[in-house]
Amino acid sequence: MSILSGKNILLGITAGIAAYKTASLVRLFIKAGANVKVVMTPASKDFITPLTLSTLSKNPVYSTFTNEEDDNAMWNNHVELGLWADFFVIAPATANTMSKMANGTCDNLLLATYLSAKCPVYFAPAMDLDMYKHDSTKHSFEKLKSFGNVMIPATSGELASGLVGEGRMAEPEDIIAFVEKDILGKLPLRGKKILITAGPTYEAIDPVRFIGNHSSGKMGFEIAKAAANLGAEVILVSGPSSQHVNQSMITVERVKSAQDMYDEVHKHFNTCDIAILSAAVADYRPKNVATQKIKKKESTFTIELEKTKDILKSLGAIKKQQFLVGFALETNNELEHAKGKLAAKNLDLIVLNSLNDKGAGFGGSTNKVTFITASHDIFAHELKSKTEVAQDLMQQILKQTHA
């Protein structure tokens, strides 16, 4: 799956003949799973129609601050458009537009959006060879790069003028490949391996019954997605859960019991850089598992339980370079208990959730957590979606590991 999947791409089109290729570019972004909106300079509409682009992108196309033909026209908010974008790709970028971008000129919607956008900006120049070589154009390239914008260099070939040389806009496939590679290369957890546990464990009583708990696995799956989005290779060891994920960077290993989870986790721990254990592992399991279904006889029935292995503690005992994160679900004396677990299990960070907080803990889609570091720094967070909690956790880990 492409790193662009689920991302918001704002495509800026300026008035060069290469604009005709942006129909393919929009298609390829959509095929990669991105959401696409298009902002055009008014003059670029001579080269490709907004209708084509809105049909392909499945979104309205913006080129003016208001729609002049409509008396009730709404203002096209360039700030919102800029904030919506995860990435702004300007292709083709003409000498004229680049010069304006370099100098802060703001005489159309595309330029106003450029000045408001906070996201990474890519520009793919396209022009005739002498224009491309001109000192003024080179000056624009350098200035834009100094702003942190990323240039997708033009290639050599036959140009619209009939001349042959440098100035052809990179082909749509190459633009996509360039952007994907650039994004991946800049992700802070690129090259790191992260081990995550999620969900409950089921401890068999007999062939049809088990002891389990209400953990849904949501929190662990969200952490896996947040880590993969930062470029990490993720091994997600999950107990029985209805959660699914389809991301090339995430390998899901499904297990049932605490012992299965212990074995699977230990297969991967040596080679991982970070381990985050969010699973709700059973602390006890039936000492003897009946091989046949247990028949009801007496009015009471007792199952003898024995302790399971504490997976997190076992990792704390053998960890070397790994950054180890645990969870603590508490009902009373929360901070004290969490700090106790942090020390007892030799952790670098513990995520505390209290069952006294409404919206925290099992099942739901929200959580309210407090991070406690090994040096007892405490970061309390508001009630948030589990997606946001996972992102906060990854940011906390990045901060502590200086990744």
Catalytic positions, written as ranges? 213
306 contributes a contact to ligand CTP by CB under 6 A:
no
For the chain, the maximum distance between any two Cα atoms, rounded to a whole number of angstroms, is: 95
Residue 224 touches ligand CTP, criterion: CB under 6 A: no
**Considering only residues 127, 144, 194, 312, which one is a binding residue for ligand CTP as defined by CB under 6 A?**
312
The DSSP line for 327-338 is EEEESSSHHHHH
**CA 144/CA 124 separation, integer angstroms:** 12
Our CB check for ligand CTP shows the closer of 140 and 197 to be: 197
Minimum distance, C-beta of residue 48 to ligand CTP, in the bound complex (Å): 54
CA dist., res. 214 & res. 355, Å (int)? 13
State yes or no: residue 236 binds ligand CTP (CB under 6 A).
Answer: no
Of the pair 16, 217, the CB lying nearest ligand CTP is at 217
- Closest distance between ligand CTP and the C-beta of residue 383, in Å? 20
Give least dist CB 368 to ligand CTP, A: 16
Select the residue interacting with ligand CTP from 102, 258, 352, 369 (CB under 6 A).
258
Which helix (H) or strand (E) is 316 found in, with range? helix 311-318
- The rounded distance, in Å, linking the Cα atoms of 177 and 122 is 13
Peptide bond before 172: cis, by omega within 30 degrees of 0? no
- CA-CA distances (angstroms) from residue 123 to 145, 154, 237? 10, 10, 41
Binding test (CB under 6 A) with ligand CTP, winner from 128, 222, 310, 392: 310
Q: Give yes or no for residue 341 binding ligand CTP (CB under 6 A).
A: yes
In angstroms, what CA-CA distances link 15 with 45, 120, 186, 196? 7, 22, 30, 49
**Which secondary-structure segment (H or E) carries 398?**
helix 386-401
Q: What length does the chain have?
A: 403
Written as six digits, the tokens of 350 are 């513990």
Which span sits near ligand CTP by CB under 6 A: 69-77, 171-179, 273-281, 363-371? Answer: 273-281
Residue the block writes with tokens 């930062």: 230
Is the CB of 2 or the CB of 215 nearer to ligand CTP? 215
For ligand CTP, which is the closer residue by CB, 128 or 310?
310
Minimum CB distance to ligand CTP smaller for 141 or for 221: 221
Of 62, 53, 67, which is closest to residue 81 (Cα–Cα)?
A: 62
Q: Among 326, 334, 349, 372, which residue interacts with ligand CTP (rule: CB under 6 A)? A: 326
Figure out which of the listed residues 281, 324, 390, 394 binds ligand CTP, where binding follows CB under 6 A: 281
The yes or no reply on residue 311 touching ligand CTP (CB under 6 A) is: yes
Q: Smallest Cα–Cα separation from 186: which of 241, 229, 131?
A: 229
Task: Considering only the stretches 39-47, 173-181, 235-243, 310-318, report the one whose residues sit in contact with ligand CTP under the rule CB under 6 A.
Answer: 310-318
Any idea which residue has 């049932």 for tokens?
256
Identified binder of ligand CTP from the candidate list 327, 339, 368, 370, rule CB under 6 A = 327
What are the tokens at 137?
């154009």
Q: How many CB atoms lie within 10 A of CB 137?
A: 20
Mark the segment that binds ligand CTP (CB under 6 A) among 57-65, 203-211, 277-285, 358-366: 277-285
In whole angstroms, give the CA distance from residue 266 to residue 27: 44
Cα–Cα distance, 12 to 44 (Å, whole number): 10
Query: 33-92: which residues touch ligand CTP (CB under 6 A)?
Result: none
- 223 near ligand CTP, rule: CB under 6 A: no
Contact with ligand CTP (CB under 6 A): which of 97, 308, 354, 387?
308
Site residues (CB under 6 A) for ligand CTP?
A: 197, 258, 277, 279, 281, 283, 308, 310-312, 326-329, 341
